[in-house]
Amino acid sequence: MGMHTPLTARLGVAMPIIGAPMAGVAHGALARAVTEGGGLGMIGVGSTDRAELVAREASLASDSGRLPFGIGLMAWALDDCPELLERTLEARPTLVSVSFGSPRPYVEALHDAGIMVASQVQDVASAVAAAEAGLDLVVAQGTDAGGHTGTVGSLPLLQLVLDTVDVPVVAAGGIATARGLAAVLAAGAAGAWVGTCLLACPEAASTAEARAKVLAAAETDTVLTRVFDVAQGIGWPEEFAGRALRNRFTDTWHGREAALAADTAAGRQLAEARKAGDYETAYVYAGQAVGLVRRSRPAAEVVRSLGEDAECLLRDRLEELLGVARPD
């Protein structure tokens, strides 16, 4: 059967599922596994990543050019590091996202190279700007999402963006099971952009200890905070905080960012904790859907069951709610 949306048609994938770009976590191995599961896997390129990472992980993700994949960049970091865009163009991905800042300056070069362009938006104004910039996909990223995000919940944001723009809209933030995927597809989304549900997969580039933290966390264990960016002196625009698992560091510093910025010892502690894999101080970015991640499963299996189970669920619900007969 399969589910057909503008996303599956444009990307040539079996399922309307995109594996979110996640710096430090979604590298080539995870992206490839997502694509092998029937979705489109993306590589996350962080603001402090070296440009060499792009070619290396792209080769892994695409299995040396055999599979489609995507690359996720951060607009605010690209201005200072144009090399990241150059390496991205050379890697020939199917899709590139330019999020957290204006994608507009980069759209033409990407389109000229035959690459589809997406951007994550966190409110109506940024959705309109993205559509006007000529993007192929707009990703409505709710505050439930893991990693850097805005302040509007996924469901209100999705409804607002679907009502506002004419380009295909993909839903991000809080989708980790077939119920979530079925819900956003029924609402009109062209697909789902999922990160947190992949955080415990063995293909993730994170540490085993970080994956164990994900498995142990409940839906109430996250906080939207700037403390890790402040402590590292990373130039994230202030409107984007990051959703991470709460720990001793966030309990100590969240709400005291000015004091943290002046405390060089705290910055050093964080750097040391990251090296040592001490996640009572170091960060594990994760969304509210972390409470739904209970087992470590291969990413291809996560994606396949997400898609197949959502299809069954949609058929059953349509039959139950509307009396639409299920085809044999």
Ligand X SMILES: Cc1cc2nc3c(=O)[nH]c(=O)nc-3n(C[C@H](O)[C@H](O)[C@H](O)COP(=O)(O)O)c2cc1C
Residues of this chain that interact with ligand X (CB under 6 A) are: 20-23, 25, 44, 46, 72, 74, 97, 99, 120, 141, 144-147, 172-175, 193-196, 285-287, 289
CB of 28 to ligand X, least distance (A): 14
132's CB contacts (< 8 A; 6+ apart) are: none
Quick one: 37 or 146, whose CB is closer to ligand X? 146
Nearest-approach distance from CB 16 to ligand X, in angstroms: 14
Longest Cα–Cα distance of the chain, Å, equals 66
Rounded to a whole number of angstroms, the minimum distance from the CB of residue 109 to ligand X is 18
* Nearest residue (CB) to ligand X, 240 versus 253: 240
Please, which residue, 78 or 131, has the CB nearer to ligand X?
78
Please name which of 191, 176, 140 lies closest in space to residue 12, comparing C-alpha atoms.
Answer: 191
In terms of Cα–Cα distance, which of 220, 135, 215, 206 is closest to 169? 135
How does strand 241-245 pair with strand 147-149? antiparallel
Nearer Cβ to ligand X (45/300) = 45
Q: Which residue is nearest to ligand X (CB)?
A: 195
Q: Minimum distance from CB of 251 to ligand X (Å)?
A: 20
Q: How far is the CB of 48 from ligand X (least distance, A)?
A: 11
Nearer to ligand X, 28 or 46 (CB): 46
